[in-house]
Amino acid sequence: MIHCQNVWYSYDGINPVLQEINLKIMDGDFVGIMGENGAGKTTLVKLFNGLLKPAKGEIFINQKNIKTLSVAELSRIIGFVFQNSDHQIFSRTVAEEIGFILKNFKYDPSEIQVRIEEILKQFNLEQYKEQSPFLLSGGERKRVALASILCAHPEILILDEPTIGQDAIEKKKLIELLRELNRNGVTIIIITHDLEFTAEYIPRCILMSKGELIADGPTKYILTSEQCLKEASLVEPQLAHLSHILKFDKSLLSIEEMKTKILEYIGGAR
C-alpha cells in the first residue's frame, strides 16, 4: 500500500511542485495518473520510489516511512519503468540487461538464469536473448526495459507513459500483460496522457493539476465529469463525446458499453 499524508515537494525550495497530496493506493489497485504537463505526476511517483524525498508530509510504503528506506531498498518493492527505455539499456545482451536488477539484489546465479528464461518467454524475447539490446527496435527495447523490471517480481509497478511510440497491437499486448499482473496481485500505477487508453482499460483515475490532486475515483466518473476534465485541462474521451452527440442518458467510456447501447437503440428502432 502507498499512503501519502499531506505531502509537499519543491525542486528549488521556493515554488511548490506538489501541494497537500493526500492519497492512498491499496494493494492490487490499478490506477492511472493524468494531468496537464507540469502537473506534478512524475514528481509524485518519484517520491514513491525514493528518488525524491518529500519536503513536508510523510509517505508510507507498506506502512514503512520512505524516509527510512533507500532507493535500492524501495526498488525491491516498487518497479519503475521510465518513459525512455534508452535511459537504462547498457548491457551487451538482452539476457544481461534483464538480469541486471537480479544481480544488484544478489540473487543466486541459478535463480537469475531461471527468471531470465521465464521473462524472455513471457515477453516473446527468446530470439533476442544473446542479441545486443541496442540493435532492437524502439518497441522491442521498451519490452526489454519492462521485462528487466518485472523479472524482480515487484509488488508495485509504476510505468511512466508506457504507450508513447507504441502501435495499437503493442498497446493491446501491454494492457493484457498489465491486467494479468494486476489479477496476480501487482499494484499498477500508470502515468499517461493517453485518454482513450485510460478510459478503456484503467479502472481508477487520479487527476492532477498545478501540483494538486483534483480528483480521485473510478475512471467512469472522473473522465465524464466536465468540471474535473476542465480543471485538469483535458478533453473528454472520444466515446464520451460521442455519447453526448447521440444524447445518451450517460457518458460511455468503453467500446463494449457503446456497442451494447447502440445495439439497444437499433433493436428499439426495429
By beta-carbon proximity to other proteins, the closer residue of 4 and 157 is 157
Report the site for other proteins in 82-121 (rule: CB under 8 A): 82, 84, 86-90, 100-101, 104-105
Our finding on whether 9 is near other proteins (CB under 8 A) is no
Which one of the spans 26-34, 145-153, 227-235, 256-264 is the region binding other proteins (CB under 8 A)?
145-153
Cell of 47: 517520491
Our finding on whether 80 is near other proteins (CB under 8 A) is yes
Q: Alpha-carbon distance 64 to 43, whole Å? A: 20
Strands (E), the chain: 2-10, 16-25, 30-35, 56-61, 64-65, 78-81, 156-160, 187-191, 204-209, 212-218
Q: Alpha-carbon distance 96 to 130, whole Å? A: 8
Cα-based torsion angle of the residue sequence 168, 79, 191, 26 in order, rounded to the nearest 10 degrees? 110
Beta bridge partners of 4: 23, 59
> What DSSP designation does 14 have?
S
Q: Which of 39, 146, 148, 204 binds other proteins (CB under 8 A)?
A: 148
By beta-carbon proximity to other proteins, the closer residue of 75 and 209 is 75
Q: Could you tell me the smallest distance in angstroms from the CB atom of residue 78 to other proteins? A: 8
Q: Alpha-carbon distance 261 to 1, whole Å? A: 37
Sign of dihedral through CA atoms 11, 14, 17, 19?
positive
Q: Could you tell me the smallest distance in angstroms from the CB atom of residue 88 to other proteins? A: 4
Our finding on whether 46 is near other proteins (CB under 8 A) is yes
Contact indicator for 143, 94 with CB cutoff of 8 Å = no
Q: Alpha-carbon distance 175 to 165, whole Å? A: 15
By beta-carbon proximity to other proteins, the closer residue of 134 and 221 is 134
Our finding on whether 59 is near other proteins (CB under 8 A) is no
Our finding on whether 165 is near other proteins (CB under 8 A) is no
By beta-carbon proximity to other proteins, the closer residue of 87 and 247 is 87
Our finding on whether 49 is near other proteins (CB under 8 A) is yes
Our finding on whether 173 is near other proteins (CB under 8 A) is no
Q: Could you tell me the smallest distance in angstroms from the CB atom of residue 111 to other proteins? A: 15
By beta-carbon proximity to other proteins, the closer residue of 105 and 221 is 105
Which one of the spans 19-27, 73-81, 190-198, 236-244 is the region binding other proteins (CB under 8 A)?
73-81
By beta-carbon proximity to other proteins, the closer residue of 25 and 234 is 25
Q: Alpha-carbon distance 266 to 260, whole Å? A: 10
List phi, psi (to 5°) of 109.
-55, -40
By beta-carbon proximity to other proteins, the closer residue of 86 and 256 is 86
Q: Is 218 helix (H, G, I), strand (E, B) or coil?
A: strand
Which chain residues interact with other proteins by CB under 8 A?
46, 49, 51, 70-72, 75-76, 78-80, 82, 84, 86-90, 100-101, 104-105, 134, 148-149, 152
